[in-house]
Structure 1
Amino acid sequence: MQPHADSADGVVSVSVTVEICKIIPKMLDLIKSTFHRFFAPKQDDWHLLFEQAPCGVALVDAPTGTVRSVNGHFAQLMGCSPASLRQAPWSTLARSVLRPGETQAAEFLTQQPLEKGSRIHQLLRSDGVQVFAEISVMATLPDPHGKTVCVLMAKDVSEQLLAEEKLRVSEQRLRLLTDSARDVVWTMSPLGEITYVSPAIEQLRGYTPEEAMKHTIDETLTPDSQAVSLQYFVDVAAALQQGLPPPEFRNELEYWRKDGSRFWTEVLAFPVMGANGSLVEILGVSRDISQRRLYEDSLHQARERAEKANAAKTEFLAHISHEIRTPMSAMLSLTDLVLATPLDDQQRVLLNKSKSAGRLLLGIINDILDLSKLEHGKLELAHLPFDLRDVLQQVSDLVGQACASKGLHYLVEWAPEVHPHRLGDAQRLAQVLLNLVGNAIKFTERGHVRVSVRHAFSAAEHAHLRFEVQDTGMGLAPQLQAKVFEGFVQGDDAYTRAQGGTGLGLSICKRLAQQMGGDVGVESQVGVGSTFWFTVRLPLSHAGDDQKRDAQGLQAADQVQGLRVLLAEDNLSMRGILQQLLELAGAQVAVAENGLVAIQMLGEVRCDLVLMDIQMPVMGGLEAARRIRQNPAFHDVPIVALTAGGFNEDRDLCLEAGMNDYLMKPFEYKDLIEVLQRNAPSQRAQR
Structure 2
Amino acid sequence: MQNGHLFSLDQLQAALSSINASKDLTALFYRLNKALSPLFNYKNCAILVEKEPLIYRAIASSDTCLNYLDWTLSKVVDDQNLTEVFFSDGYANPELVGNKTNMPADLSNILLCKLPPSRSNSILVFSELSHEPSAVFSQDFTMQILLEQVFIKVESLIKSHSHTSQLLSLVAVMTEQAELFKELASEWFWRMNSEYAFICVDELAADDDLYKQYFIGQSPLQLRSENESAQLRKWAQFQHIITQHGDFFEFEFELNVPRHLWISLSGKAQFSDTGEFSGYMGIAKDITYAKDREIAYKQAKEKAESANSAKSQFLAVMSHEIRTPMNAILGMVELLNDTALTEQQKEWLSYAQSSANLLLGLISDVLDFSKIESGTLSLDNSEFNLKELIQSISAQFEAHTAPGKLIFEQIIDKSVPDIIEGDSTRLGQILFNLLGNAFKFTSHGRVNLHVSREHNLLTIKISDTGIGIAEQDLNRLFKPFSQVSDSVKRKQQGVGLGLSITKKLIELMQGTINCHSLLGVGTTFTVTLPVKAVDVTPVTSKQEQIQQPLNILVAEDNKPNQVLIEALLKKLNHSVTLTETGSEALNAIKAKQFDLVLMDMMMPVMDGLTATKYIREEMSLDVPIFALTANAGQTDKINCLNAGMNKVLTKPIKFSELSSAINSLTRTAKKEC
State yes or no: 1:577 paired with 2:564: yes
**How far apart in 1 are the matches of 2:191 and 2:672?**
78
Q: Deviation of residue 183 (structure 1)? A: 0.8
Root-mean-square deviation (CA), in Å?
4.1
State the AA in 2 paired with 1:590.
Answer: T
In the superposition, relative to structure 1, how do residues 38 and 407 fare at CA in structure 2: closer, same or farther (>3 Å)?
farther
**How far apart in 1 are the matches of 2:610 and 2:316?**
19
Query: 1:567 is matched with which residue: 554, 558, 562?
Result: 554
8 Å contact 2:450–2:461 — kept in the other structure?
A: yes
8 Å contact 2:188–2:203 — kept in the other structure?
A: yes
Q: Show the 5 A alignment for 1:261-340.
A: 261-340=259-338
Match of 2:31 in 1: none
Identify unmatched segments of 5+ residues in structure 1.
1-18, 68-137, 146-162, 240-244
In the superposition, relative to structure 1, how do residues 185 and 415 fare at CA in structure 2: closer, same or farther (>3 Å)?
farther
**How far apart in 1 are the matches of 2:501 and 2:242?**
59
**How far apart in 2 are the matches of 1:367 and 1:354?**
20
**How far apart in 1 are the matches of 2:221 and 2:621?**
67
State yes or no: 1:50 paired with 2:104: no
State yes or no: 1:514 paired with 2:501: no
Match of 2:525 in 1: 532
8 Å contact 1:410–1:450 — kept in the other structure?
A: yes
Match of 2:209 in 1: 207
State the AA in 1 paired with 2:567.
Answer: Q
Q: Show the 5 A alignment for 1:15-34.
A: 22-23=58-59, 25=61, 34=85
**Greater shift in the superposed pair: 598-607 or 478-487:** 598-607
**How far apart in 2 are the matches of 1:639 and 1:170?**
80
State yes or no: 1:640 paired with 2:618: no
Q: TM-score, normalised by structure 2?
A: 0.72
8 Å contact 2:265–2:284 — kept in the other structure?
A: yes
Q: Deviation of residue 503 (structure 1)? A: 0.9
**How far apart in 2 are the matches of 1:665 and 1:230?**
52
State yes or no: 1:221 paired with 2:223: yes
8 Å contact 1:329–1:667 — kept in the other structure?
A: yes
Q: Show the 5 A alignment for 1:365-376.
A: 365-376=363-374
8 Å contact 1:422–1:538 — kept in the other structure?
A: yes
**How far apart in 2 are the matches of 1:411 and 1:539?**
26
Q: Deviation of residue 490 (structure 1)? A: 1.1
**How far apart in 2 are the matches of 1:358 and 1:415?**
35
In the superposition, relative to structure 1, how do residues 48 and 453 fare at CA in structure 2: closer, same or farther (>3 Å)?
farther
**How far apart in 2 are the matches of 1:587 and 1:526?**
54
State yes or no: 1:177 paired with 2:163: no
Q: Deviation of residue 538 (structure 1)? A: 0.7
Q: TM-score, normalised by structure 1?
A: 0.70
**How far apart in 2 are the matches of 1:231 and 1:631?**
45
Match of 2:394 in 1: 396
**How far apart in 1 are the matches of 2:660 and 2:294?**
52
**How far apart in 2 are the matches of 1:355 and 1:59?**
123
Secondary structure, counterpart of 1:262 in structure 2 = coil
Match of 1:251 in 2: 251
Match of 1:36 in 2: 87
**How far apart in 1 are the matches of 2:380 and 2:220?**
60
State yes or no: 1:440 paired with 2:438: yes
Q: Deviation of residue 492 (structure 1)? A: 2.5
**Greater shift in the superposed pair: 248-257 or 164-173:** 164-173
8 Å contact 1:221–1:253 — kept in the other structure?
A: no
Q: Deviation of residue 658 (structure 1)? A: 2.5
8 Å contact 2:263–2:285 — kept in the other structure?
A: yes
Q: Deviation of residue 504 (structure 1)? A: 0.9
Q: Show the 5 A alignment for 1:141-152.
A: 141=128
Match of 2:659 in 1: 673
In the superposition, relative to structure 1, how do residues 212 and 299 fare at CA in structure 2: closer, same or farther (>3 Å)?
closer
Q: How many percent identity over aligned positions?
A: 31
Secondary structure, counterpart of 2:514 in structure 1 = strand
In the superposition, relative to structure 1, how do residues 251 and 589 fare at CA in structure 2: closer, same or farther (>3 Å)?
same
In the superposition, relative to structure 1, how do residues 387 and 256 fare at CA in structure 2: closer, same or farther (>3 Å)?
closer
State yes or no: 1:604 paired with 2:591: yes
State yes or no: 1:197 paired with 2:201: yes
In the superposition, relative to structure 1, how do residues 679 and 56 fare at CA in structure 2: closer, same or farther (>3 Å)?
farther
Q: Deviation of residue 454 (structure 1)? A: 3.9
In the superposition, relative to structure 1, how do residues 57 and 192 fare at CA in structure 2: closer, same or farther (>3 Å)?
farther
State the AA in 1 paired with 2:648.
Answer: Y
Query: 2:377 is matched with which residue: 376, 379, 387?
Result: 379
State the AA in 1 paired with 2:181.
Answer: T
Q: Deviation of residue 435 (structure 1)? A: 1.0
State yes or no: 1:411 paired with 2:415: no
Measured against aligned partners, the alpha-carbon deviations of 1:348-378 in whole angstroms (never above 9, x if no partner) come to 2221221122112111111122222333443
**How far apart in 2 are the matches of 1:312 and 1:412?**
43
**How far apart in 1 are the matches of 2:181 and 2:641?**
66
Measured against aligned partners, the alpha-carbon deviations of 1:623-680 in whole angstroms (never above 9, x if no partner) come to 3323333465x71222222212222232233223332223221111112212222334
State the AA in 1 paired with 2:367.
Answer: L
Secondary structure, counterpart of 1:674 in structure 2 = helix
**How far apart in 1 are the matches of 2:573 and 2:369?**
38
Match of 1:187 in 2: 191
Q: Deviation of residue 439 (structure 1)? A: 1.0
**How far apart in 2 are the matches of 1:219 and 1:514?**
48
Secondary structure, counterpart of 1:468 in structure 2 = strand
Measured against aligned partners, the alpha-carbon deviations of 1:486-523 in whole angstroms (never above 9, x if no partner) come to 21111222233320112111111111111111122222
In the superposition, relative to structure 1, how do residues 667 and 202 fare at CA in structure 2: closer, same or farther (>3 Å)?
same
State yes or no: 1:472 paired with 2:460: no
Q: Deviation of residue 139 (structure 1)? A: 8.4
**How far apart in 2 are the matches of 1:56 and 1:214?**
57
In the superposition, relative to structure 1, how do residues 477 and 171 fare at CA in structure 2: closer, same or farther (>3 Å)?
farther
Secondary structure, counterpart of 2:261 in structure 1 = strand
**How far apart in 1 are the matches of 2:440 and 2:221?**
75
State yes or no: 1:557 paired with 2:557: no
In the superposition, relative to structure 1, how do residues 186 and 430 fare at CA in structure 2: closer, same or farther (>3 Å)?
same
Measured against aligned partners, the alpha-carbon deviations of 1:420-441 in whole angstroms (never above 9, x if no partner) come to 5432223322221221121122
Match of 1:351 in 2: 349
Secondary structure, counterpart of 1:607 in structure 2 = coil
Query: 2:359 is matched with which residue: 355, 358, 361?
Result: 361
State the AA in 1 paired with 2:253.
Answer: L
**How far apart in 1 are the matches of 2:452 and 2:238?**
65
In the superposition, relative to structure 1, how do residues 476 and 681 fare at CA in structure 2: closer, same or farther (>3 Å)?
closer
In the superposition, relative to structure 1, how do residues 586 and 290 fare at CA in structure 2: closer, same or farther (>3 Å)?
same
Q: Show the 5 A alignment for 1:417-432.
A: 417-432=415-430
Identify unmatched segments of 5+ residues in structure 2.
1-47, 50-56, 77-82, 109-124, 133-165
Query: 2:609 is matched with which residue: 617, 622, 626?
Result: 622
**How far apart in 2 are the matches of 1:354 and 1:226?**
65
